[in-house]
Amino acid sequence: MPFLINLGKFVIDYIKKFVIIDSQFKRTYTDKRLNIIQQKGIKMKKILIVDDQLFIREVFKKQIELLENVGVLEAANGNEAMGKIKVVRPDLILLDIVMPGKDGLEVLKDIHDDVELRDIPVVIISSHAEDEKVAKAKEYGAREFIDKAQLNNIDFNGLIRKYLEI
């Protein structure tokens, strides 16, 4: 089970670092933007983008940053995602299915099985939209399953607003 270690006082005014230790990974996370806004007392909604492809995470992040008072966190695999979910408690998770290590369905099942996490809305955005995977995702509590090939046909920020209720 990951746990949080405070690495000390602010490194530079508004930067706070945490180490999440899990049996499979050890990383230091810094999210300056979230900390600056939280320091100023603004209620910020947090979205976790989980995808092994950096390009996809960057495209989603650029779109989301157009919204006010919404911060973006990123994870490149399921293990990293679960560590961040348990520490940060995002308001929305955008989750890919096929990733190295723990895949998106395993992450979704872990979220679904945890009473403290199961109310976090999860939207699956994957290019693997086979009927079996869609059904399993819905069974594990995914709010929506979006095929990446259909992203040009949806209002992406409208989808974000819908789940963040902004």
Q: What is the pLDDT along the chain (166 residues), one digit of tens a residue?
A: 333 232 223 322 222 333 333 333 333 343 444 554 455 566 789 999 999 999 999 999 999 999 999 999 999 999 999 999 999 999 999 999 999 989 999 999 999 999 999 999 999 999 998 999 999 999 999 999 999 989 889 999 999 999 998 7
Q: Is 0.85 surpassed by the pTM of this model?
A: no
Q: 43-164 falls under which CATH superfamily? A: Response regulator (3.40.50.2300)
Q: How far apart are CA 147 and CA 151, in angstroms?
A: 7
DSSP structure string for 34-54: HHHHHHTT---EEEEEE-S-H
Q: Which helix (H) or strand (E) holds 74?
A: strand 70-75
Q: Which residues, in sequence order, are bridge partners of residue 20?
A: 4, 27
Q: CB neighbours of 37 closer than 8 A, spacing ≥ 6? A: 44, 69, 71
Q: How far apart are CA 166 and CA 161, in angstroms?
A: 5
